[in-house]
Structure 1
Amino acid sequence: MVRALARSSAVAAGLVGLLVLVGWALDVMVLKSMGAAIPAMRPSAALGLMLGGAALGLRLPAAPRRFQHRLGTALALATALLGAASLVDGVITGGNGGLDALFLRVFGADGGASPGVPPSPLTALCLMLLGPALALVDRGHPQRLSWSDALVVLALMAALTGLNGFLLGPLVTPVAAPFLQERSMGLHTTCVLMLLAMGTLCARPELGLMARLTRDTLGGFVARRLVPVTLLGPPVLGLTLVLIHLIGGLSHDAKLPLFATVVAAGGVTLVLLAARALDVLDTERMRATSALEASEERFRTFLDTAPDPMVVVDASGRVRFANAEAERVFGYRREALLAREVELLVPEGLHGPASAGEGPERARGGRLVSGQRQDGTSVPLEVRLSPLEGEDDATRIAILRDVTERRDLEKLREEYVGLISHDLRNPLNTINLRAHLLQRALHERKLEREGIMAQAIIHNVEWMSTMIEELLEGSRLESGRVNLRREARDLGRFLEEVLERDVPPDARERFRLHLADPLPPVPMDAARLERVVTNLLTNALKYSPTGTPVDVRLSAVHDQAVVSVTNQGAGLSPRDAARLFDKYYRTEDGRSADGKGLGLGLYISRLIVEAHGGHIWVESEPDRGVTFFFSVPLEAPSAPTAPEPLRQRAG
């Protein structure tokens, strides 16, 4: 809206100046003046308005072209020079010769066409001030008034002087026109000059005086309401009194007392307007304060009812807030914690070295530390730090989750793993050994039917051993206590060995291996990564039509090596693709094709890949085949972290 006012001002100034020049050229009085009692606009003033309007229009863009900027500056300086020349001409010739006479001869008008009222020096002064203001319009500052603002304000005061002289002059004496009225500008001249001055201010609303007026602050709020009333109040009042006087409703003796009374009432009105504006702002401030207090109370209630201990720590490491759960877990009263160093609760500090087992905890988003209660006992904690919104960057809110129960559950899981390892695997190994001996004895006695039964026992024992091994491997990987035996391997050569070793000979011809440019050796646990590749290759054979090709590709994407396995099977639904790597999840086709599986193969593959610092995913559409991807870093990560998905980059 502010810039629209600037554009309108530029157009209006240029258009009025052009019409006045046409009026002088054609000697049309209505174009030169608004009436017989109103001074006509001089040709020099009209030309100055045209130059000023054009300069304002060229300076409006925030980043004008070089030619546009230079032309606008040149027109602005021409406006100032024209104003200065008119001012000097008025002093030397009284305005009846010199510059305006030259314009009259150019337009073919005679001297009698000029008005008898002496020219106003205020018009020339306004043009002389507005020219430099237009040239310096870009030199403002968001916080300070600029030279351009000062020049525009002076021009506005000069134009207001002319307007008040024209409107208020008749209030002084009924006989002879006083100096102000006699030397003032025409009504249309002063209005257009004021509009041009306002447009110059609005050309850069983000700088200087307009920045203060449009700013959403107390000063801006009050100024937007008082400045228009202060500037336009006296002229409007004077115009009203003049109109009343012209229709005979007001004697001359009552003009000045009435004017003084109304001015005093206007001052009181300004005070009341300022008071009302301040009351509105104070009401809004109280409402905002109340809303802020309610928000703080909700935030405090949320923290106090949180199930985990929470503390707010400032930049110096001192506790500024502690919730009720922190009191319960650590045993301190809240008042005793405030302003105390956080090392009272976490001796090693919130940013200190991690304790044992940090790797899996960091992968879950936290960090394990050892806390200390008031009675001196320790408590295992998982620390999560977040910046507190609205505070400085160093203020943090810390969630100190008591992981004692998690530690107990992990201990139970370790015991469970040991139970499976010892109490289930050992009997199965014995059964498997005895079944092989029984099968050999039956074979020697040529009891084929009984030998087939023994082979069924061996097959089911191997199946149970496989399931137990999957459960054990999944449990170890979930606990995060698996130490990968990394060694640098040529991943392309590794894939060739897996295809040769783990794919049945009659199915090898279906696999097509595509290797990218040679990659650097990749640090990996070859045994576990072979399990991932074998699982993907087996699934590709199992769920694709017989005889269709399976493509295995190796490529590099940034700092990751990406392996993909593509088959021509029936594809996956979006629901299956989203849950395929979940624990125990099996698709309908998987349950019908292999009723003995547990749904752990792809889940374990995901855990193995993520333990390497990589990522595994699937892309598929129904009836368009399936492509499995997994990535591993080309360099071993310093700490196990969840890697950025490569779906978009590798796809």
Structure 2
Amino acid sequence: MPRSTALVRALARSSSAAACLVGLLVLVGWALDVMVLKSMGAALPAMRPSAALGLLLAGGALGLRLRCDASPVRRWMGTGMAWATALLGAASLVDGVVAGVMASGGGLDALFLRLFGEDGFASPGIKPSPLTSLCLLLLGPALALLDRGTPQRLSWSDAFVSLTLMAALLGLNGFLLGPLVTPAAVPFFQERSMGLHTTCLLILLAVGTLCARPDLGLMGRLTQDTLGGFVARRLVPVTLMGPPLLGLTLVVMHLSGRLSHDAKFPLFSTVVAAGGAALVLMAARALDLLDNERRRATTALEASEVRFRTLLDTAPDPMVVVDASGRVRFANAEVERVFGYRREALLDRGVELLVPEGLHGPSTSASPRPTGAGRMVSGRRQDGTCVPLEVRLSPLEGAGDATTIAILRDVTERRELEKLREEYVGLISHDLRNPLHTINLRAHLLQRALHERKLEREGHMAQAIIHNVEWMNTMIEELLEGSRLESGSVTLRRESRDLGRFLEEVLERDVAPDTRERFRLHLAEPLPPVPMDAARLERVVTNLLTNAIKYSPKGTPVDVRLSAVHEQAVVSVSNLGAGLAAQDAARLFDKYYRTEDGRSADGKGLGLGLYISRLIVEAHGGHIWVESEPDRGATFFFSVPLEMAKASRPETPEPQPQPARQRAG
């Protein structure tokens, strides 16, 4: 909570407590006939019972309505006491002004006095002020309508509170400033009908009502961190309370004999004029300070913008700044080199001029990628030729809603290098398979011969050779499969299959019997079939199941779930293992990436299992991702389109390498 808001809330609580306490003490004073409690001071006139009851009701209503999250019963009680305050004020006003019965000994106060066993007031010659009744009449609706305001507009509650404050200040100024123009004929504290204590408490209640909702209406404007709020917080208290304090000072000087009656009014006028000039100078100084701060901030912002533009302009990759409507607001020099457009020609043009499919991909995408993740797109140069790009998006803070920096990295050279690498890997892998096949065949013959001669120790050595040959064969197969999927040369052999039945078969066929009981399969309602390459998708499922068992404590369950989300079948595999750090989860599906736990658990892998799984899933038109937190396990997901979405896709889509989608745990 800001310091100013905390202060005004404390002021609201204090005003509620003070009004309730004084009202209760005065009523007790009338009931016990204690003059000190009736007048709250030896020199002050007795507060009338109706005024004391009004203060008690208003203070109670304010206290009950202070909390915005108060219970309904508490709100209803507060509202009821607020309207009771207004009703009491209206009755007192009619009683005292229209009928004039209080001057003749009747009315509400006479009724209260009869209840207390009193016959009349100690000072019957002093008529009650109608301002007290008017303040209670206005304060009641202000308290009842406390929550009807908004931060942008003044409310009816603000209007009623402002009128209450003006009426109370009128009574206070009449009490303090009246002797400036009229000679004091009676003791000062008894020469005005509206008592000083009543006036001060009504002003305090009015201010407390404003402070009850510091974020709404008039008080919201005073507490907000703006130029208007800054000036108002310094000028409003001085303008409201300056004249009463000045009048009180002059009266005290007059009563002490240091100031003659003829000098009071001229001195008051002179001090008010000087105070007004001082307020103007204070406001001017405050505005000068704020203007200097604004100029310094503007200069710093301009310098920061120059540095920012220089940084973008010297970046080695094409970079554009795009607003919420998709229009280019800035383009660096690399954009000119890669795309052939002059930067001036790109400003205020749609980014589709450079990336026809848009920075976020087609609008029909069922699973949009998170901001900051790279995505492969095809750009278009000015001459109409295409250029492969990797797009990375980053929000630009402080530059308006949805303003984004887009980094368009030209990956033409990388594509050529990847192609050469894939050819090299394919050639090496193919040349390695022939000698491995020969080694495997001879090792099996050797193992059989050793078994016939009952040479068990040598037979175990032959088995170790066979095991390592199989391991090398698996790694070569992973390299070949990854190379084929990356190049897009794989034709998926799709067939419509029931994915739920498919998962049951994989669990039955590919999971070891001693670990099968740890898996729990949860199937949703029957789903439409999925067009899939069963052999390759089985590889994905098996990889996820194997990892779940490998990286979870023994005996803990592994949950496999199947559901449908937006025409996509979603399979999830959850384990209760150690979980993943954020940096590991972000790169888990990258090529050759292995976590520290993965390297320690199995030093033989190449880090291609999840990467190939990602390529297989994306070749099916789906996505794969992980949700995990350290020490809370991990859940791997992959989605593939259902049969109903088949017509909107080509039969064999060309896969495009894309980074894995990660969601925060």
TM-score by length of 2: 0.75
- CA distance in 2 between counterparts of 1:149 and 1:402 reads 61
Instruction: State the 1:62 CA deviation.
Output: 2.1
Q: Which one of 264, 271, 274 corresponds to residue 280 of structure 2?
A: 271
Q: Which one of 38, 42, 52 corresponds to residue 58 of structure 2?
A: 52
Residues 499 and 286 of structure 1: is their aligned pair in 2 closer, same or farther, counting only changes over 3 Å?
A: closer
Instruction: State the 1:55 CA deviation.
Output: 2.2
Secondary structure of the 1:93 match is coil
- CA distance in 1 between counterparts of 2:75 and 2:556 reads 66
Secondary structure of the 1:290 match is helix
8 Å CA contact 1:118, 1:182 repeated in 2: no
1:111 maps to 120
Residues 457-515 of structure 1: CA deviation (Å, up to 9, x unaligned): 99998776655433222322345554433334456776787799889xxx978866967
8 Å CA contact 1:5, 1:202 repeated in 2: yes
Note the 1:301-380 alignment, pairs <5 A.
Answer: 301-314=310-323, 318-340=327-349, 342=351, 345-346=354-355, 365-373=374-382, 378-380=386-388
Secondary structure of the 2:183 match is coil
Secondary structure of the 1:123 match is helix
296-305 vs 553-562, greater mean Cα deviation: 553-562
In the alignment, structure 1 residue 560 sits paired with structure 2 residue 570: yes
Note the 1:149-548 alignment, pairs <5 A.
Answer: 149-174=158-183, 176=185, 182-314=191-323, 318-340=327-349, 342=351, 345-346=354-355, 365-373=374-382, 378-390=386-398, 395-420=403-428, 467-479=475-487, 481-489=489-497, 516=521, 523-531=531-539
In the alignment, structure 1 residue 133 sits paired with structure 2 residue 139: no
2:28 maps to 22
Partner amino acid for 1:560? Answer: V
Instruction: State the 1:588 CA deviation.
Output: 5.8
- CA distance in 2 between counterparts of 1:260 and 1:187 reads 23
Instruction: State the 1:142 CA deviation.
Output: 3.0
- CA distance in 2 between counterparts of 1:550 and 1:106 reads 78
Q: Which one of 6, 13, 27 corresponds to residue 7 of structure 1?
A: 13
2:130 maps to 121
8 Å CA contact 2:390, 2:408 repeated in 1: yes
In the alignment, structure 1 residue 68 sits paired with structure 2 residue 77: no
- CA distance in 2 between counterparts of 1:543 and 1:78 reads 70
377-386 vs 461-470, greater mean Cα deviation: 461-470
Residues 410 and 364 of structure 1: is their aligned pair in 2 closer, same or farther, counting only changes over 3 Å?
A: farther
TM-score by length of 1: 0.77
Residues 611 and 222 of structure 1: is their aligned pair in 2 closer, same or farther, counting only changes over 3 Å?
A: same
- CA distance in 2 between counterparts of 1:203 and 1:459 reads 79
Note the 1:563-642 alignment, pairs <5 A.
Answer: 583=592, 587=599, 590=602, 604=612, 608=616, 613=622, 633=640, 635=642
- CA distance in 2 between counterparts of 1:153 and 1:470 reads 80
Residues 549-575 of structure 1: CA deviation (Å, up to 9, x unaligned): 999986536643456999xxxx99999
- CA distance in 2 between counterparts of 1:454 and 1:112 reads 120
- CA distance in 2 between counterparts of 1:549 and 1:201 reads 64
- CA distance in 2 between counterparts of 1:628 and 1:524 reads 23
Residues 261-283 of structure 1: CA deviation (Å, up to 9, x unaligned): 11111111111121122122223
- CA distance in 1 between counterparts of 2:306 and 2:257 reads 68
Partner amino acid for 2:168? Answer: A
Q: Which one of 142, 150, 157 corresponds to residue 151 of structure 2?
A: 142
Partner amino acid for 1:367? Answer: M
Instruction: State the 1:80 CA deviation.
Output: 2.3
Partner amino acid for 1:15? Answer: L
2:89 maps to 83
Residues 345-375 of structure 1: CA deviation (Å, up to 9, x unaligned): 4566657779xxxx99x997313213215x6
| Pairwise CA RMSD | 5.2
Secondary structure of the 1:380 match is strand
Larger gyration radius, structure 1 or structure 2: 1
Instruction: State the 1:176 CA deviation.
Output: 3.5
- CA distance in 1 between counterparts of 2:158 and 2:186 reads 33
1:101 maps to 110
Residues 176 and 318 of structure 1: is their aligned pair in 2 closer, same or farther, counting only changes over 3 Å?
A: same
8 Å CA contact 1:477, 1:608 repeated in 2: yes
Identity of matched residues, %: 71
Residues 183-230 of structure 1: CA deviation (Å, up to 9, x unaligned): 441111110111111122222333322222222222222111111101
Residues 45 and 611 of structure 1: is their aligned pair in 2 closer, same or farther, counting only changes over 3 Å?
A: same
Residues 282 and 557 of structure 1: is their aligned pair in 2 closer, same or farther, counting only changes over 3 Å?
A: same
How many aligned positions are there?
A: 617
Partner amino acid for 1:19? Answer: L
Residues 512 and 647 of structure 1: is their aligned pair in 2 closer, same or farther, counting only changes over 3 Å?
A: farther
260-269 vs 125-134, greater mean Cα deviation: 125-134
Structure 1 gaps, min length 5: none
8 Å CA contact 1:363, 1:642 repeated in 2: no
Instruction: State the 1:331 CA deviation.
Output: 4.1
Residues 7 and 377 of structure 1: is their aligned pair in 2 closer, same or farther, counting only changes over 3 Å?
A: same
Residues 214 and 589 of structure 1: is their aligned pair in 2 closer, same or farther, counting only changes over 3 Å?
A: closer
Instruction: State the 1:66 CA deviation.
Output: 4.1
Secondary structure of the 1:3 match is helix
237-246 vs 313-322, greater mean Cα deviation: 313-322
Partner amino acid for 1:30? Answer: V
- CA distance in 1 between counterparts of 2:544 and 2:148 reads 68
